[in-house]
Amino acid sequence: MVRRAAFYIDSHGFGHTTRSVELAHRFPSDWEFLFKTNAPTWLFEENGFRADRIIPSPLDVHPVHATGYRVDVEATFQEALRKIADSGRLVEDEILWLDRESVELVVTDISPLAIRAGRAAGLPAFGVSNFTWDWIFEPMFAALDGGSVLTSIREMMREATLNFRLPFSDESTFPYGSVDTPLLYRAPRMEREEARAHFGFERERRYVLLTFGGFETPTSGVMNLVHLSPLQFVQVDRVRTKPGSGGHPQLLRDKEIENLWHLRAPGLYHPDLVVAVDALVTKPGYGILSEAMSTATPVVLDSRHDFREFEAIYETLRDYPQVAFVEHEEIARLDLADPLHRVLETEPESWKGGLHGAEFIAQRVTGEKNGP
């Protein structure tokens, strides 16, 4: 007998989605998922889930961005106020949907409204994240009289059957309690040398991936990359294809910058690219960091002082020699010679925490062990 779960996934960046689909895959085979999310459908299709199981969600509560991945605080505050003011109607509508779809279980990464709806519908509801939105918003809203918004979100999170706190986090993000959880990540499907050959990398060259989790890559300093030769830089040009349609990756040299390459890889499985490159330049988000730390891939990170998650990430990673933190201005200029040299020339350290977060959560939620 197939059992049905609803998985509400925040669409802020790709990390919430990539770790959530990995978790869904680790549930016992008698569980079927309906995904309520505004994340791109292709993220699910490329990971084996059908498009008709992905339903738009009205429940997202997350930052609004001004440019790239910089937050527009006032717009974020106004959107959060609107969503909380409308929460009664949103929850009532969701209760009806959960009943209509015969859902037995709610999981969310990490919508407070989904937890409230699930519990109000009489269902177990579990939160999975390395932060909560009230914790993120707290310093942002300090000058905006945002206490009622923070309190409302916090109370919704409190209603969870259980919250799983992932790494790169601070205990204070779940003030009413949570379970410390090992790293939830997607493992590569290829060994390093196989992956390098697959993407067309030359053996004697070092490749650095520029990746910013679905947000715009800084371009103001892109010409500075030529000064970092012989390092080669890679950006992904996303190619949409139907799952299973195949197609070989193409590594195309940029028309103006000799050491910049554009990777077109149909059906790209991103962890294989992470294990193939020699280093990453990226924003400090959970998804990319989980892939980097699980494979000990060197990382140069933008210091996002405007986003509270960065504080916890910094505390977690500052002692790993293969991780370098740089200021946003340096990222914008792609002024990366010194930090790249540091992380490439050091011996990396393996991740100090457990790597079985998906299995840990799935077993705790269902009471069943999936696989041997």
pTM of the model: 0.89
Largest CA distance in the chain: 61
Q: Cα(6)–Cα(118) distance, rounded to whole angstroms?
A: 9
Comparing CA positions, the residue from 188, 207, 364 lying closest to residue 292 is 188
Going along the chain from its start, the domains and CATH numbers come out as 3-184+355-366 (3.40.50.2000), 192-344 (3.40.50.2000)
Instruction: Label the pairing between strands 3-9 and 105-109.
Output: parallel
Sign of the torsion angle spanned by Cα atoms 327, 329, 331, 334 = negative
Q: What percent of the chain has pLDDT over 90?
A: 71
Q: Are 298 and 344 in contact (CB under 8 A)?
A: yes
| pLDDT at 191 (0 to 100) | 97
Cβ–Cβ under 8 Å, residues 101 and 6: yes
Are 7 and 22 within 8 A, CB to CB?
no
Residue 124's CB is within 10 A of a number of other CB atoms, namely 15
The vertex-294 CA angle with 5 and 44, nearest 5°, equals 35
Whether a cis peptide bond, with omega within 30° of 0, leads into 331 is: no
3-class SS of residue 150: helix
Summarize the confidence of residues 312-319 as an average pLDDT: 95
Question: Is the bond into 110 cis (omega within 30 degrees of 0)?
Answer: yes
The pLDDT score that the predictor gives to residue 215 is 47
- pLDDT digit string, tens, across residues 31-64: 999 999 999 998 888 788 888 899 999 999 888 8
- The residue type at 200: G
